[in-house]
Amino acid sequence: MKRAGSINSAVNNNLLVLHFTVFIWGFTSILGALISISAVQLVWYRVLIATVSLFLYFRFNKTAFTIPRRSFFQLALIGGMVGAHWILFFASIKLANVPVALVCLSSITLFTAILDPLISKKKISKLEIIAGILIIIGIVIIFKFEVRYTKGIIAGLCSALFASLFSIANSMQIKKYQAPVIAFYELIGAFFWTTLYLLFTGGFDKYMILQRADLGYLLLLGTVCTSLAYVAGVSVMRELSAFRVALITNLEPVYGIVMSFLFFGDSDKMTTGFWVGAVIILSTIFLFPVALKLINSRKQA
């Protein structure tokens, strides 16, 4: 009983950490809307600041962070997915607005329900698929009523796909390395791929033109909202499944949308159809754990 109690305590502690982390992630959408530079440039600065802050953390604490070459390349590739997720997420905000980008990000649950069993060779959960279908219905309704934001919606859905992929990959990597080490090398990978893209597209031409407020927002985004939150988000995967992490991550729209109303008043820009779709998606997220608990209790009875 003591062993079971300690496991439950660890799970509950990780759930609290994850909820706090998701709240911080919700705030990144506000910063993304406030920062004046493009989505790719924003991510470049974000990962640069986050990587440097993590490196200083390792040096200050005298933490060993060397890994085998093969693992370095694996984490760097995962970092490419992380960078793509962030770029597409901020692009969605700039092409549409904060509520649209955040609700589209909720489809991470759908992608994880489909991809996690395929990649991890687990049994497909019927309940997860049903939840995924309901999320699809919500997204279709949003598409139908928010045609003006089609490009932003597509960018948001692609962002969710990459978020699902790197979450599944990290659930495997966390078994081998500490969360800060994983975050550090993935951020290096994100920085490398983003830099490569900017070099080939000429993105550095007007790169240093920043508004005065941008620097403060970028420092907050790169340290608290990235290096700190990213390490916390990876660390919880020792106790929580990729799908459960994806499900709780979908609370990000709730936090972000509330904050966007406070900062920007985006509620005036959304149609009734958007809110119908959003309610379907968010209700699915909240009701899924209840349904799962009921099913498990019946199996044990």
Residue 208 has pLDDT above 50, yes or no: yes
Residue 2 has pLDDT above 60, yes or no: no
Q: Are 158 and 91 in contact (CB under 8 A)?
A: no
Kindly state the average pLDDT of the residues 131-159: 83
Token digits of residue 222: 């790169």
Q: How far is CA 38 from CA 24, 44, 87, 101, in A?
A: 21, 10, 9, 16
Q: What are phi and psi of 273, to 5 degrees?
A: -60, -40
Token digits of residue 44: 């470049």
Q: What's the rounded Cα separation, in Å, for the pair 92 and 154?
A: 8
Residue 7 has pLDDT above 60, yes or no: no
Q: Count of domains in the chain? A: 1
Q: 70 lies in which domain range?
A: 2-300
pTM: 0.78
Q: Which of 258, 224, 251, 217 is nearest to 90 (CA)?
A: 217
At residue 218 the predicted structure's pLDDT band, cuts being 50, 70 and 90, is: very high
At residue 28 the predicted structure's pLDDT band, cuts being 50, 70 and 90, is: confident
Q: What's the rounded Cα separation, in Å, for the pair 171 and 174?
A: 6
At residue 76 the predicted structure's pLDDT band, cuts being 50, 70 and 90, is: very high
State which amino acid sits at residue 99: P
At residue 8 the predicted structure's pLDDT band, cuts being 50, 70 and 90, is: low
Q: Are 244 and 125 in contact (CB under 8 A)?
A: no
- Give me the residue label for tokens 């590739």: 77
The pLDDT, as a whole number, for residue 57 is 85
152-166, 205-219, 245-259: which has the highest mean pLDDT? 152-166
At residue 62 the predicted structure's pLDDT band, cuts being 50, 70 and 90, is: confident
Kindly state the average pLDDT of the residues 3-7: 54
The pLDDT, as a whole number, for residue 1 is 46
- Lowest-pLDDT range of 91-95, 177-181, 233-237: 233-237
The pLDDT, as a whole number, for residue 3 is 53
